[in-house]
Amino acid sequence: MAAGAEPSARGNLAAGAGGEEGVHVKPFTPEKAKEIIMALQQPAVFCNMVSDWPARHWNAQHLSKVLHGKQIQFRMGMRNTDTVPQFETTCSYVEATLEEFLAWNSDQSSISGPFSDYDHSKFWAYADYKYFISLFEDNTNVFQDVMWSDFGFPGRNGQESTLWIGSLGAHTPCHLDSYGCNLVLQVQGRKRWHLFPPEDTPFLYPTRIPYEESSVFSKINVVNPDLKRFPQFRKAQRRTVTLNPGQVLFVPRHWWHYVESIDPVTVSINSWIELEEDHFARVEEAITRTLVCALKTAEDPHNTRAWLNPTEVEETSHDVNCRYLNGAVSAFFDHYRTSNVVETSALQTNTEHARKEGLNVCDHWEGGRTRGQSVTMGAASAFGPDLVPVTPSEREGICESDGQDFVDRDGEHFGKSHQAEKQQTISKSENAVVKQIAYSNATAPSQSLISTDDLLDCLVNPQVTRMVAQLLIQGRNV
């Protein structure tokens, strides 16, 4: 397949529309694109930036030839979903080639092989989290087909990217990523993204079970929520966008997202961009891992499958995790001693500040961003046909309003009437948590036993680990 513009033109020129040879100046230079990405604090879609990328032509048929029958793990899930999220720990898995996946996905009812136990009308398949560096270990030349340098990250290509191939209905449960921000190229088919801002964290009932480093999951199936059990979810500010082939979605740091394939075959490529705040986030993750693994392995040392995501293959012993924690703290200090970014005064924790801000998701470690501020003026000025913001009220173009007015199980109707409440900023989250506890105590049946998972939901809540990490850093700095 044609690779588009000549290598000498990459970064500046793209192939003309309809495959015709032509010159198309990209709407943003790499420098401008990076400036926008670093300033944006809300999701947005870049258009007309990847026409000359060879990876733009990586549909599933093409990839099946490139991979030469390589075995890939597919996650299998049910199409008919209830109110419980389909976490990876509850799915089954098959090893298959892309050729076998495509044959099954064409609904050949008599097919034999790895997918034979899965009725195509009832199941979806997802080859997710496929890191290029291992997937294409025998064909590293393909790394150059992905050109994140066009977005201002020189040298970043497929080697720092991940591939996702799914069938209709394939999805990832709602979660946020602890590290970095995210750039996602849609190659084939369409995906629908359901996004929620960081300040909605109390309304999404975060959990670290199943445990996966850098992924904080929501207990809610956001496309079919149990509002009786999770009443605060009605306050969450959903933003929905359908990502089409050739478009690149920017997901800012700590934005919650649920992603679903809405076409028969979808192919996506993403790259997580490291940020200054990640040095502190790794300390938080090390704390979380140590606590989760210690308590869960003590509860049942022979059943990690129930709580540890399949992507987590490292040893989970307490000794290893303690060394990991110490390494994360040391790396934090090493980085800031070298860069002089953070002075000693910035590491101090004031008791009054902790009392007022302790339950907030965002604080001074978020890079000094103003709470409730969605975008800087410089980034906002770039919005237009080539950069479309994903907003709650957008109805036309590529951005779609959620459009769903849920009805809870008691028949209470709600939807746009709650838009005023949804505009609450992170500074109100403490009050939200208090109200959530009061509401739960008044309506939920009493429980005589507190489970390990209940305890962990409190101990490794992102808001709590933020404070613990601050105290650890402060203690080491005295």
pLDDT for 89-128, tens place per residue?
999 999 999 999 999 999 765 678 899 999 999 999 999 9
By the 8 A CB rule, do 462 and 175 touch?
no
pLDDT on residue 477: 63
* SS3 annotation, the chain: CCCCCCHHHCCCEECCHHHCCCCEECCCCHHHHHHHHHHECCCEEECCCCCCCHHHHCCHHHHHHHCCCCCEEEEEEECCCCCCCCCHHHCEEEEECHHHHHHHHCCCCCCCCCCCCCCCCCEEEEEEEEEHHHHCCCCHHHHHHCCHHHHCCCCCCHHHCEEEEEECCCEEEEEEECCCEEEEEEEECCEEEEEECHHHHHHHCEEEEEEECCEEEECCCCCCCCCCCCHHHHHCCCEEEEECCCCEEEECCCCEEEEEECCCEEEEEEEEECCCCHHHHHHHHHHHHHHHHHHHHHHCCCCHHHCECCCCCCCCCHHHHHHHHHHHHHHHHHHHHHHCCCCHHHHCCCHHHHHHHCCCCCCHHHCCCCCCCCECHHHHCCCECCEEECCCCCCCCCEECCCCCCECCCCCECCHHHHHHHCCCHHHHHHHHHHHHHHHHHHCCCCCCCCHHHHHHHHCCHHHHHHHHHHHHHHHHC
Cα–Cα distance for residue pair 187/118, rounded to 1 Å: 26
Which phi and psi angles does 129 have, rounded to 5°?
A: 55, 40
Cα–Cα distance for residue pair 431/415, rounded to 1 Å: 22
Nearest to 2 by CA among 58, 64, 65: 58
Please name the residues in contact with 216: beta carbons below 8 A apart, sequence gap of 6 or more: 175, 176, 178, 206, 207, 208, 462
Nearest to 193 by CA among 129, 270, 261: 261
329-354: per-residue pLDDT in tens?
899 988 888 776 544 444 443 334 43
pLDDT on residue 375: 53
Peptide bond into 85 cis (omega under 30): no
The position carrying tokens 């034979």 is 116
Most distant CA pair in the chain: distance in Å?
Answer: 71
By the 8 A CB rule, do 256 and 215 touch?
no
232-264: per-residue pLDDT in tens?
999 999 999 999 999 999 999 999 999 999 999
pLDDT on residue 112: 81
| Residue 216, amino acid | V
Cα separation values, 267 from 52, 167, 263, 319, 433, Å: 17, 9, 10, 40, 39
Low-confidence residues of the chain: pLDDT under 70: 1-23, 108-110, 340-378, 393-448, 450, 477-478
